[in-house]
Amino acid sequence: MKVFAELVRRNIFRVALLYVASAWLVLEILSLGVDYAGLPSWIYRFAVALGIICFPLAMVFSWLFEITPEGLVRETKVEPSRSITVRTGRKLLRLAILCVLGVAGLNLLRFGLDAWIG
């Protein structure tokens, strides 16, 4: 149970949520570009592969570092009394929600374009 508590304290799950939500947003934007702007389809496949490859790296990075007012600092060098992981976690969650709302907005745009173009 100690490992789970440490994962929560270091915001690993919130970073994962933000990563997935932002990747979803990027893929939706690229999908619009492929469908309506004539971008080559390999760009979309490349972005999917890159997102999958970089996910474990993002998780390791979020385990090793903490966001502080001074910037990114190695987690072991942050004093527990000066840690702002709770505030950072709230910000990560808000950003993830914004990304999901962006995806919803892009899907509404897609439906509108489909109805308009026919």
Which DSSP string do the residues of 33-61 spell out, in sequence order?
HHHHS---HHHHHHHHHHHHHHHHHHHHH
User: pLDDT (tens digit, 9 = 90+) per residue, 24-67?
Assistant: 999 999 999 998 888 999 999 999 999 999 999 999 999 999 98
DSSP state of 83: -
**Full residue range of the structural domain in which residue 88 is found:** 2-117
State pTM to two decimals.
0.89
User: How many structural domains are present in the chain?
Assistant: 1
Nearest to 63 by CA among 50, 76, 45: 76
User: pLDDT (tens digit, 9 = 90+) per residue, 67-96?
Assistant: 888 888 898 888 888 889 899 999 999 999
Q: How far is Cα 25 from Cα 100, in angstroms, rounded to an integer?
A: 7
Using the Cα atoms of residue 10, residue 12, residue 18 and residue 22 in order, give the sign of their dihedral: positive
SS3 65: strand
